[in-house]
Amino acid sequence: MFKKCTLFILTLSLLVSAVGCGIDKNPAKPEKPVEKAPRVFTNLEDEYVLLSDAVIESTLPPIASGSNAPAHISGEGVLYGEKKSSISVDTETMDATLTVDGISIPVSLENFLGANIVDLNKEDGFNELALYVDGPSADPSVTFVRFDGKTLKPIENVYEMGSFSYTSPQIYGDFYADEKDVIPTYGAIWTNQKGSIVTSFQNIGFTAPRIALSRFVLSGDAWKEEKLSPKVEGTHEVAETFKTFFTPMDNPPIDYGHYSFTQGYDDNKMREFKKGEKIEFLGYGEMYNYYSFYIKVGNETGVIAFWLGD
């Protein structure tokens, strides 16, 4: 009797197990792998976002369009640690004044448009106050200011042009530039939010993806420009339709910085490059922010030239 009961229980257990291991009529569908967005700059490992995507919440009023910002703005936002600071900008006089928690400094804000708080480095405990101007002749720039609870200080940059150099906190670029503008005048600024930014003057934007030629890296309270010297070669696709000066040439130029490549800025001597068109880079050179590229497009070879921010 004991053996029969044991056999019955064993048979029942096997039957239950078999039912439990039956075929699932509604199997879960395998998840599709999430496609990672292509990097903005093909030669930089970090992901970069537009400056406008690095904005931190504050009560500062929205940035104005055109030169229509009020003479005085104020609001609150976190600049250091977790404490909210009171922030005001007064442009009623020729020399603007920035005040944070009662500490004031003079700032140059010609055609002031507004201010935002951005995070340029998520690991350093700071947020930066970005002061945005349209400039004296539609040459917009952003001045980044840091506050550590005691000291209010713009982040300075040394601009070098041959033997001439000068110090300025202004980073040339448009706070709200469209990333699809491939060669805008004073265009977009990107940040990896690890202490580095790339401006439109520092990258080849008419190809997809972009190629960064240099970048600014935060070093203490100053920007330091890091030359990247990428290989500009191979065949690339035109990101968006654009026009620039084109000089047909059978052989590479000896002097890429020669002024003749801009064709006297005669618009009638510009060539249109259409989105999706293939360009083969055969060589390039630079002088300050002036760049020339020896390319092959279709059956033609020649030099295209422009200020990289133009």
Q: Which residue has 């977790």 as its token pair?
A: 82
Q: Which residue has 């500062």 as its token pair?
A: 60
> b vs e for 221-241, b when ≥16 Cβ sit within 10 Å of the residue's Cβ?
ebbeeeeeebebeeebebbbe
Distance from C-alpha of 244 to C-alpha of 303, rounded to nearest angstrom: 10
pLDDT by residue for the chain (310 residues), tens only, comes to 544 444 444 444 444 444 444 445 555 545 555 455 568 898 999 999 999 899 999 999 988 766 667 788 999 999 998 999 999 999 876 679 999 999 999 998 888 889 999 999 999 999 999 999 888 777 889 999 999 999 999 999 887 766 767 788 889 888 887 655 555 446 789 999 999 999 988 888 888 888 898 999 999 889 999 989 888 889 999 988 888 889 899 999 888 877 677 777 788 888 999 999 999 999 988 776 677 899 999 999 999 887 655 4
CA dihedral 94, 98, 99, 105 (to 10 degrees): -80
**The pLDDT of residue 294:** 93
